[in-house]
Structure 1
Amino acid sequence: MIKSVNNQEFKIIAVSNRKLCDRPFLEQIERVCKIHPEAVILREKDLTEEKYGTLAKEVMNICSRYQVSCILHNFWETAIELECTSVHLPLPVLQKLSDEEKNKFIKIGISIHSVEEAKEAEQLGASYLTAGHIYATDCKKGLLPRGLEFLEEVCKEVNIPVYGIGGIKFDEEQWNDMEKCGAVGGCIMSGMMKI
């Protein structure tokens, strides 16, 4: 789903969380793919790498059918094994990857929570960043959101695409605000797992 905001393309990435689904998870992934987000990040943090790999194969097949990019999360070795060229990692994982390992991927996304982390991720070869959390969210109950000022600061300090994450909804006003900060898009978890 690429939404036109201020005559620019505002890209939406779906982030998975099977615990939020009201229906079978793979059925939900198919529903998500039918609206054609920019990508689906398979973020199932509680799974072992083996179980994650099994699920990833199925999700990659669904994404492929709908021509939606599938980005595997954290388990970069599984991504290589499954020939998935897009991966999303925490910064500490990226810090440990060799250039040879990084070169196995076309796209490397990194989660960042400060301007310093954003700069470091870019320097280490990140293709894009998710910066958050921007708005209040149930996923981070009790933690104050970093807000739009933070998002704008990150966008000004790096030369790679930045997506806002945390409390992002199907809300054009919210998308406009993030676009004004310089973000190329936003990541939606809860909303995507309920559509």
Structure 2
Amino acid sequence: MGLVHDLRLYLVTDERPDLLPRIEQAIQGGVTCVQLRRKKITDDQFIEEALQVKQLCRQYQIPFAINDRVEIAREVEADWLHIGQEDKGILYARAIVGSNTKIGVSVHSVEEAIEAERSGADYVGVGALFPTSSKPDTIPLHLDTLRSIRKAIEIPIVGIGGITEENIKRIPADAVNGFAIISSILSAPDPKSAAIRMRKMADME
């Protein structure tokens, strides 16, 4: 699979007890990769869940990503690692996970995007593009900034933050290679149907 295609509909997990069945439903609906993002569980719990999600991703032949926990990404041999600006940095992460793991970096400005690319990021996550319940204190990024980031870097871009079926069309089609979704799929009554609808919209971009 090519990296750009893999990013088309990028599922990021939230904190919920029924996560695994909902992830599988989302994958069945067309999610192209899954990032395990869990802030409220121990390392041992994270590792156990990571191995379960990785097995699911292997079953459906899509990439599996870990959010933030660099050492765990190495331990479970995740396909991708995604880190934020507040983490130790891509050079540290690369030294831990090695060259086979693709690394994504969250960025919020042109300067951060250029630095991520210069440091060896494989893709960047840009946002939040809209108000989001997962990070309620975040001020949404102006879409003009997204356009400027697209012009400034060559690596793929994933738009993230509050993306819904209603606002996804507001994101410039030529500015992103994919969309990272949390609540619009995982909180839907039927995650599979939600993923099917979101995938169709993502493929039309």
Aligned to 1:128: 123
For structure 2, the 5+ residue unaligned runs are 192-205
Unaligned runs of 5+ in 1: 1-7
The answer to whether the 8 Å contact 1:87/1:105 transfers is no
Distance in structure 2 (CA, Å) of the matches to 1:51 and 1:58: 11
Equivalent in 119, 122, 132 of residue 114 of structure 2: 119
Post-superposition CA distance 1:113-154 (Å, at most 9, x none): 221111111111100000100112222335431121121111
- Tell me: CA distance 1:147–1:61, structure 2 relative to 1, closer, same or farther (3 Å): same
Q: Aligned equivalents of 1:16 and 1:10: distance in 2?
A: 15
Cα distance change, pair 157–44 in 1 and its aligned pair in 2 (3 A):
same
Q: Distance in 1 between matches of 2:68 and 2:139?
A: 25
SS for the counterpart of 2:54 is helix
> Identity over aligned residues, as a percent?
28
Q: Secondary structure at the match of 1:156?
A: helix
Aligned residues: 183
- 1:190–1:99 CA distance, 2 compared to 1 (3 A): closer
Deviation at 1:60, TM superposition (A): 0.6
TM-score normalised by L of structure 1: 0.83
- Does 2:174 match 1:184? no
Do 1:163 and 1:185's aligned partners in 2 also have CA atoms closer than 8 Å? Answer: yes
The equivalences for 1:51-62 within 5 A come to: 51-62=45-56
Change (3 A) 1:49 1:135: same
Which of residues 39, 47, 69 is equivalent to 2:33? 39
Distance 1:174 1:160, change over 3 A: same
C-alpha change, 1:79 and 1:98, in structure 2 (3 Å) is closer
The answer to whether the 8 Å contact 2:131/2:161 transfers is yes
Say yes or no: does 1:70 pair with 2:59.
no
2:11 maps to 1:11: no
The alignment's C-alpha RMSD in Å is 2.3
Partner of 1:140: helix, strand, or coil?
A: coil
Say whether the 8 Å CA contact 1:122–1:158 is kept in structure 2: yes
